[in-house]
Amino acid sequence: MLEHGVPLQLSPRVRRIVAPNPGVMTGPGTNTYLVGDDEVAVIDPGPAIASHIDAILAAAGGRLRWIFCTHTHRDHSPAALPLAEASGAQVLGALPEDRIAQDETFRPDLELRQDDLFQTGEFRLRAVHTPGHVSNHFCFLLEEEGMLFAGDHVMNGSTVVIIPPSGDMQAYIASLQRLLQYPLRSIAPGHGDLIRDAQAEIEGLVAHRLKREDKVLAGLHTTGRCHVNELVQVVYDDVDSSLHKIAVLSLTAHLIKLRQEGRVVLCSVEEHWEITTEGGPGSR
């Protein structure tokens, strides 16, 4: 059970506080992680809810040094500004390429780059650029424990939504595969509980996306030229129809990836998608 506002010790170096913002897209709420004791790093400060900010400041105990944001969606980064103002901590993250559903208050003191390393006497945190969910997404690896703070790149209990144009399915799958190059043991997701077998989880996510991609191709092969709102009913027939409006976003991301690979085409006048001769099921 994920309890809001109460710090939970996950490992010798890591505590978690769940924000009181449960919902369809946020699950039990956004996970905020505190790493270290003598010098504290906060990862994903979450929404700017007063009770949540107070809980983070109380848990940090005046020792907050860094505030890391995996990305700048409004359930992950807005608390960075009030936390920084209250503590003097440095805000770190990357600016978005668009303003769609983004936190307009986000102003990093330092823009992250791939493999940036932050360390204290207690821990080493490595930034890993993982575009896909959005282009400015970073995960953070706690090297001493092999724990990956995954933001919305990996979630426990639900599938990550890929929202074009900033969301990119090709980049998302490539980012998952990149993570397999790191010595991961567990995943601390942005929503949901700790995932213990990191490699199996990531391999499963890659397999799931590629299986869905095959279903996109098979669906187009069956329906012929069609609109995405028609195709979603075929490709996501295993998902409750009330969620099809959200599923259309990831379906569109799959189609864009397949178009980049020359396997489908978009008929722009009617916004209908069509399979190419060489792009049929099993042609990967």
The pLDDT averaged over each successive group of 10 residues in the chain (284 residues) is 88 97 91 97 98 98 98 97 98 91 94 97 98 96 98 90 91 96 97 96 96 97 94 96 94 96 89 78 47
Contact 107, 81 (CB under 8 A): yes
Q: Which pLDDT score is estimated for 2?
A: 76
At 246 the three-state DSSP class reads helix
Contact 101, 73 (CB under 8 A): yes
Tens of pLDDT along 172-221?
Answer: 999 999 999 999 999 999 999 999 999 999 999 999 999 999 999 999 99
Contacts of 59 (CB under 8 A, 6+ apart): 7, 15, 17, 34
232 burial via Cβ count (<10 Å: 0-12, 13-18, 19+): buried
Contacts of 187 (CB under 8 A, 6+ apart): 147, 148, 150, 154, 156, 194, 195, 198, 201, 202
CA 1 from chain center: how many Å? 22
Structural domains of the chain, ranges and CATH numbers in brackets: 8-196 (3.60.15.10), 206-275 (1.10.10.10)
